[in-house]
């Protein structure tokens, strides 16, 4: 049993050392991992843990009221905020007609409310009503481009692409990259460039993105490590070295 445990510890340390070398972390990390007591644990919780999404933990503790509770609350107090909360609950339960009904009613009262525009846009995408979805999401980014950390732009691009407006889709993503040149935004632009057959342009975007990633500060390289790996895979997939 002791031999098995020792073997597992060795495998764990080798895995972490390989990860450190792959990331081009500071030269001392392999030594810490192998020779400092609990060094592997230190590396894991300081560096490696960033690779894993802990959003599911947040979702467990953030679970909101049920549709039934929100329906009762809305009947008691039919306010704008209660209607929007109810619409969001219907959307999360995949009850898209009901979500669309409440979002649409809310939109009549507050035509530029970002939460309503975003929720109705996503609902229309779920209903495959891409032209209407694109309209609502375009209005949202026009008035609040950074809403939800620029979260309205990817569904806007998807809706535009799905209703045959590929050039508008690319124009929107290029504007997004200008506004907020995050690595995931550039990868999204490259993905849609590839979809419309603009492979050379997609290649150039990915090459530039990876070059900027390699020159970025260490904490940014660490944060964007997984995206960089995906960008390298995308670059390989489109057939360029």
Residues 46 and 99 in one domain: no
Residue 77 lies in a domain: no
Find, among 19, 236, 222, the residue nearest to 214 by Cα: 222
Residues 104 and 207 in one domain: yes
Distance separating alpha carbons of residues 162 and 152, to the nearest angstrom: 16
Residue 59 lies in a domain: no
Residues 136 and 224 in one domain: yes
Q: Which of 54-68, 126-140, 160-174, 176-190 has the lowest mean pLDDT?
A: 54-68
Residues 162 and 221 in one domain: yes
The domain tally of the chain equals 2
**pLDDT, position 31:** 75
16-41 pLDDT per residue, tens: 778 777 766 666 777 787 777 777 77
Residues 115 and 17 in one domain: no
**pLDDT, position 132:** 98
Query: What pTM was estimated for this model as a whole?
Result: 0.76
The pLDDT of 198-221, averaged and rounded, is 92
By CB atoms closer than 10 A (0-12, 13-18, 19+), residue 24 is exposed
Residues 39 and 147 in one domain: no
Residue 17 lies in a domain: yes
Residue 76 lies in a domain: no
Question: Does residue 167 register a pLDDT over 70?
Answer: yes
Look at residues 17, 34, 51 and tell me which one is the last residue of a structural domain.
Answer: 51
Residues 47 and 99 in one domain: no
Residues 47 and 129 in one domain: no
Residue 71 lies in a domain: no
The percentage of the chain sitting over the pLDDT mark of 70, rounded to a whole number, equals 85
**pLDDT, position 63:** 62
Instruction: Label residue 13 by pLDDT band (50, 70, 90).
Output: confident
Residues 133 and 218 in one domain: yes
Mean pLDDT, the chain, as a whole number? 86
Residues 132 and 228 in one domain: yes
Domain assignment of residue 32, given as a range: 2-51
Q: Dig out the tokens for 171 from the structure.
A: 């124009």
Residues 42 and 116 in one domain: no
> For residues 88 and 106, is the Cβ–Cβ distance under 8 A?
no
**pLDDT, position 70:** 94
Residues 116 and 29 in one domain: no
The pLDDT of 220-227, averaged and rounded, is 87
């Amino acid at each position: 049993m002791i031999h098995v445990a020792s073997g597992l510890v060795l495998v764990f340390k080798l895995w972490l050392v390989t990860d450190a070398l792959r990331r081009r972390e500071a030269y001392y990390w392999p030594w810490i991992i192998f020779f400092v007591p609990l060094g592997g644990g230190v590396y894991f919780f300081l560096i490696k843990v960033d690779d894993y999404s802990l959003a599911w933990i947040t979702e467990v503790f953030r679970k909101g009221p049920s549709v039934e509770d929100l329906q009762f609350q809305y009947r008691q107090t039919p306010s704008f905020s209660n209607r929007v909360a109810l619409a969001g609950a219907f959307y999360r339960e995949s009850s898209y007609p009901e979500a669309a009904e409440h979002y649409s009613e809310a939109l009549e009262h507050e035509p530029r409310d970002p939460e309503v525009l975003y929720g109705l846009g996503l609902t229309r995408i779920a209903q495959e009503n891409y032209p209407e979805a694109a309209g609502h999401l375009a209005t949202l980014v026009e008035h609040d481009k950074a809403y939800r950390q620029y979260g309205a732009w990817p569904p806007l691009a998807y809706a535009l692409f799905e209703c045959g407006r590929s050039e508008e889709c690319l124009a929107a993503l290029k504007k997004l990259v200008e506004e907020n040149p995050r690595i995931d935004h550039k990868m999204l632009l490259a993905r849609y460039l590839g979809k419309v057959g603009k492979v050379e342009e997609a290649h150039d975007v990915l090459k530039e993105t990876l070059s900027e990633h390699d020159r970025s500060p260490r904490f940014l390289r660490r944060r964007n490590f997984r995206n960089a790996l995906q960008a390298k895979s995308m670059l390989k997939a489109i057939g360029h070295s």
